Amino acid sequence: MARTIREDNQITGTLQNVIFSANDSYFKILSVTVNETDLEDWDEEEIIVTGTFASVKPGSTYAFFGQLVTHPKYGQQFQAARYENQMPADEKGLVAFFASGDFPGVGKKTAEKIVDHLGQDAIDLILADSSVLTGLVKPKVAADLAEKLQENLGLEKLFLLGHQIGLSADVAGRLFDHYGEEAQEVLQKTPYRLVYEFDGLPFKKVDAIAKQAGFPDDHPDRIQAGVYAGILNACYSAGHTYLTVDQALAAAQSTLQSNSSSMQTAIDQALGALVSQERLIYEDGNYSPTDLKGAEVLVSSKVKSLLKAKSAVQTTPDLVDTTFVVPENLDLDEVQRAAVEAALTNQVFVLTGGPGTGKTTVTKTLVATWEALVRHQAQSQGRDKEWAKQNRVRLASPTGRAAKRMTEITGYEATTIHRLLGITDGDDAEFDADNPISGGLLIIDEASMLDISLAESLFAALPKDMHIVLVGDADQLPSVGPGNVLYDLIQSQVVPHVALERIYRQGKGSSISALAQSINAGILPKDFEENQSDRSTFLTTADQVPRAVSQVLQAAVKKGFTADQVQVLAPMYKTPAGVLALNQIAQDLFNPVKPGQKTLQQGETIFRLGDKVLQLENDSERDIYNGDMGQVIAIHYKKEPGVAADSLVVDFDGQEVWYTSKTLNQLTLAYATTIHKAQGNEFKLVILVLTGQFKIMLNQNLVYTAITRAKESLVMVGDYSAYEYAATHPVPVRQTFLQELLVDQQNGRRATRAKQADSRVGQLAEHQGQKVDRDGQTTNLDSQSASRADQPASQQSQKNAVKQETIQQSQPTAVKQEAPRQPQSADSRSAEFDQRSLTSSSQQKPAVQTPLAADQIAGESGLTTATLAQAMANPMIGMADLKPADFMPESR
């Protein structure tokens, strides 16, 4: 139901007391005695007022503007959108205000002196310029008084100004925290500074603030900030670390919404100014945001210096050979063994491979062999325990979940990279170039998720002689943030690399692996629609997706799958086939409303006790990270004894984390997630939804990443053409410098030019339409976005070339693979896609019909209920037994 917009009501009242005050924001709950109100039905003396307030003072009078709402537990209360401090109306009141005891060193006499000299505008005069107090009071008293006034009234004024210019109280509060008493001046006099200095205000918003402050469209500050914001947005939305001149101009024009010739000249001047201010770097016809280029330079130079370094622990091939330890007596194949040797005999090493190829097995062997090497040398060289500790193995991963898995598998402590580096929110890393981390060998898992900024922090903090091994699946999605670290390291051929290709886990019979490999090669296999022992396909139109997913989930629930074991994946949040809608469906199935069940609401989401939930942000202080999944294990209401505020407790694999209304926005339901958020996680059953509505997001790496999250079974729902389109479209090329920085200058330039030529093919399509961030959130374009459909197919061929070259150059023993078939041209595929998307549901390829219903399976297969769960563990009689007929609505 659409929400009706109402005019604000008003209450003027005296503050009795502050019932609750949040630590991490200005949110408060107040008890107020009503003096006057326009609320028709309010006849009580007191009212509860909630909202964002400065240091409001009991006994003072305020005017609150907002709405009367009904809280499910606490009943009626006033939700204030803004408020005003009713300042003393006359000089007598003003004297009482200054002498209230709030201002150290100001008694009645001093208060009278101040008011005598400054009159009724005393407060405004002091807030504007505290030097008006010079000579009236002692310097210390003047400083304290000005500071206290700022703290209370300065923030209140900022709330008021924020309200007038369309800033939420929360942003106004953060601005005050950032700029202090200067905040108001920044907003009114130099608003475009916010583009460079303040996180979380898009250029459009800053521009609107500046317009209200009287800045014309052609003001140089506006053009400069618009150019900078445009370039930065373009880099972040496409994952680039630089833009060509043409791209930079297009991004700037799009952000500034003008391409007049005078604007062209102004943009050129702004680009020059941004370069001289060192906000941008211009080189060889490209513009890079200084931080991104700086990060690439640091990573490349650190990699090069590490490659030349000699570690304290000797790792000659002979020593590695004699100390080689393979856990669990596994028989490593030739390539795996060569990978271990190369990883230990080189200071920097990259290991890649698809699921089940033995990356973890190699990691375990590396850890065990390294420890044996350290022990052996500590003994033979008479080293002490401290030396062994200094050279120990460290393990880390970009996500908490992957780190936990590493710990479980290796038996060694693994952490997130953030934790390894001691990065806490908003603060600099504890470990950096001046204070490096300790350890002799560092293994980073899920390295495909490493963006250039995190890579910079990581490489900066490595001791100069540390061994580093990056492990990942090169065919997965690139990092959410800019950069292409893993790809560039491999492509440079400067860093030794082994690609594991033989699949062990799912074995030859696994059709999920075969499908993933085929999609990797740009082909949707002929048997895509045929149900296999471990995968099924259900073709539906976009509007049939919710029903189809619901049917599949019901079948899964009947078969005993838990919410933890099943993961619904879709590329984006919105649309009826998107993550938000699918979460509702899954929540109702896995955790239906029960009488008396405790719930807590945040925005549109109602969390129920028992829900599967996902952490959306890194919160290093509480050691929970973006992508961590957990379960709601308790909900507490404020009215309960000993409970200070409504709260929700989540169990993240044994770690309990509390959320209150202030942190609940970090959490969402996790029955369905975007594919980006599922990176680094694996699930027994994956239900993947792709439809033409997600076209802007579809590519090989996305669908490959989704499919390979399935450990045992995969159910694909949606539109055939969407799968076909994704399978035949490589991930768009990322423009980065790291590769060329790693190789010699001359060769590097050549490579860059080739990449630029490629990316220009797609330039015409850029800066148009919608912007979709790397996690599937749609926003209107502020600057630009690259249309994935029009990106060249070059990354696929580059990728294949890398694989081939790597195998030949760094890994002579690896099993060579046939070069995959090149995908069709992007144009012909696009045309085909559009045609298919227009096909009506009756023209959709029919779902394969089989007569066996899910709940018949136990009987017909001769399994008892008790053995059914056991049977589910076997992919051969697992989810694949759920046939299309079990999932699809009867009417189909």
Ligand X SMILES: Nc1ncnc2c1ncn2[C@@H]1O[C@H](COP(=O)(O)OP(=O)(O)OP(=O)(O)O)[C@@H](O)[C@H]1O
Contacts with ligand X by CB under 6 A lie at: 330-333, 336, 353, 355-361, 504-505
Cβ 368 to ligand X shortest distance, Å: 13
DSSP, collapsed to helix, strand or coil, labels residue 704 as helix
The dihedrals phi and psi of 398, each to the nearest 5 degrees, come to: -65, -25
Cβ 705 to ligand X shortest distance, Å: 12
For residues 276 and 586, give the distance between their C-alpha atoms in angstroms, rounded to a whole number: 54
CB 704 within 8 A of CB 734: no
For residues 243 and 288, give the distance between their C-alpha atoms in angstroms, rounded to a whole number: 6
Cβ 524 to ligand X shortest distance, Å: 22
For residues 707 and 78, give the distance between their C-alpha atoms in angstroms, rounded to a whole number: 49
As to burial, measured by CB atoms within 10 angstroms (0-12 exposed, 13-18 middle, 19+ buried), residue 10 is middle
CB 176 within 8 A of CB 183: yes
In order of 19, 71, 84, 212, 843, the CA distances from 16 in angstroms are 9, 21, 16, 37, 68
Is position 803 annotated in a ligand binding site? no
In order of 75, 550, 726, the CA distances from 530 in angstroms are 56, 21, 18
What is the dihedral sign for C-alpha 491, 493, 496, 498?
positive
Cβ 5 to ligand X shortest distance, Å: 51
H or E element in which residue 831 lies = helix 826-838
For residues 393 and 371, give the distance between their C-alpha atoms in angstroms, rounded to a whole number: 7
CB 28 within 8 A of CB 50: yes
Type of residue numbered 877 = I
Alpha helices by DSSP H, 312-451: 317-323, 334-345, 359-380, 385-390, 400-410, 417-421
Q: 353 or 718, CB closer to ligand X?
A: 353
For residues 504 and 543, give the distance between their C-alpha atoms in angstroms, rounded to a whole number: 39
Place of tokens 């699809």: 888
Q: 718 or 878, CB closer to ligand X?
A: 878
Q: 441 or 552, CB closer to ligand X?
A: 441
Radius of gyration of the chain (CA): 31
In order of 280, 510, 719, 878, the CA distances from 333 in angstroms are 48, 20, 40, 30
**The pairing of beta strand 348-353 with beta strand 778-780:** unpaired
CB 628 within 8 A of CB 399: yes
Q: 330 or 593, CB closer to ligand X?
A: 330
H or E element in which residue 629 lies = strand 629-636
CB 640 within 8 A of CB 444: no
Q: 336 or 756, CB closer to ligand X?
A: 336
End-to-end, the C-alpha distance of the chain in Å comes to: 30
For residues 191 and 207, give the distance between their C-alpha atoms in angstroms, rounded to a whole number: 8
Is position 360 annotated in a ligand binding site? yes
Q: 540 or 681, CB closer to ligand X?
A: 681
Cβ 587 to ligand X shortest distance, Å: 28
CB 711 within 8 A of CB 684: yes
Cβ 486 to ligand X shortest distance, Å: 14
Cβ 333 to ligand X shortest distance, Å: 5
Cβ 405 to ligand X shortest distance, Å: 8
Cβ 498 to ligand X shortest distance, Å: 12
Q: 330 or 801, CB closer to ligand X?
A: 330
For residues 718 and 841, give the distance between their C-alpha atoms in angstroms, rounded to a whole number: 11
Cβ 450 to ligand X shortest distance, Å: 16
Per the structure block, which two tokens stand in for 863?
A: 């399994």
Cβ 639 to ligand X shortest distance, Å: 46
Q: 505 or 892, CB closer to ligand X?
A: 505
Q: 475 or 529, CB closer to ligand X?
A: 475
Question: In the β-sheet with 710-718, what is the strand arrangement from edge to edge?
Answer: 535-539, 710-718, 683-690, 566-570, 672-674
The dihedrals phi and psi of 658, each to the nearest 5 degrees, come to: -95, 140
Type of residue numbered 159 = F
Q: 94 or 519, CB closer to ligand X?
A: 519
Q: 627 or 823, CB closer to ligand X?
A: 627
Is position 359 annotated in a ligand binding site? yes
Type of residue numbered 850 = T
Output helix, strand, coil percentages for the chain, rounded to the nearest 5: 45, 20, 35
For residues 272 and 867, give the distance between their C-alpha atoms in angstroms, rounded to a whole number: 72
For residues 389 and 220, give the distance between their C-alpha atoms in angstroms, rounded to a whole number: 56
Q: 359 or 419, CB closer to ligand X?
A: 359
Is position 285 annotated in a ligand binding site? no
Cβ 192 to ligand X shortest distance, Å: 47
**The pairing of beta strand 667-669 with beta strand 441-444:** unpaired
In the DSSP assignment, the letter for residue 765 is G
Is position 411 annotated in a ligand binding site? no
Cβ 712 to ligand X shortest distance, Å: 12
Q: 85 or 681, CB closer to ligand X?
A: 681
Q: 332 or 853, CB closer to ligand X?
A: 332
Cβ 360 to ligand X shortest distance, Å: 3
CB 488 within 8 A of CB 736: yes
Cβ 397 to ligand X shortest distance, Å: 12
Q: At what angle do helices 108-118 and 91-98 cross, to 10 degrees?
A: 140
Positions at the binding site for ATP: 356-360
Positions at the binding site: 356-360
